[in-house]
Structure 1
Amino acid sequence: MSMETFRLEVHESDGSTGIDADVYDRDNLIRTSARVAYDDHGLESVGDGTQSRIVRETTADVTTLDLQYERDDAGFAFRLLGDRDELLSVRVEDETWGLE
């Protein structure tokens, strides 16, 4: 394998019903993704939707990618793993994103 750049985009889904997280490769193809429904966590969006996009890039030499998320009392953490090592971590705060 060779070094490749990956882009993680975390954004509010259409209709403000949840969060979509997608990992793109250099050809803009989605390599892995995760979806979080607000209903599954007893949340709803009360914000205006303008704050809801985070984009981060990383370069790595990996054979496998895995995108995971976890929830705590104040938000979500999205972790991009490459060959089981953390490549990127992005935090979505309820207050910042207008979630109640």
Structure 2
Amino acid sequence: MEALARRLVPDAMWEAARPLMPGPRPRRQGGGRAAADARTVMAAVVYVITSGCAWQHLPPVFGVTVPTAHRWYTRWTSADLWQGLCEATADNPGLADWTRTIRDCAASRVYD
């Protein structure tokens, strides 16, 4: 699983994506569960949007629930993360192709 996650979200892509991600939502009452690991969620989201599988078929080996993956996808799409990621990786030819693919796949899903 770790190898798949590293292929879906290579280190250079993760370093470019991290500063573009919106911060965690404030919790009115504090407490609650700790936020999921953003890189793990990103790998799960990238898997779903690039493979074409339905959200409900997200493999459990990612360690992310379907509602969490979809919620983060929606937030990231609203924050225009995918376009920002393309711009941030434009000078890296191999990575630029992958981030454009991710952006295009995310745009075709439009919050489904």
> TM range, normalised to the smaller chain?
under 0.3
| TM-score, with structure 1 as normaliser | 0.27
Structure number with the higher helix fraction is: 2
Structure number with the higher strand fraction is: 1
| TM-score, with structure 2 as normaliser | 0.25
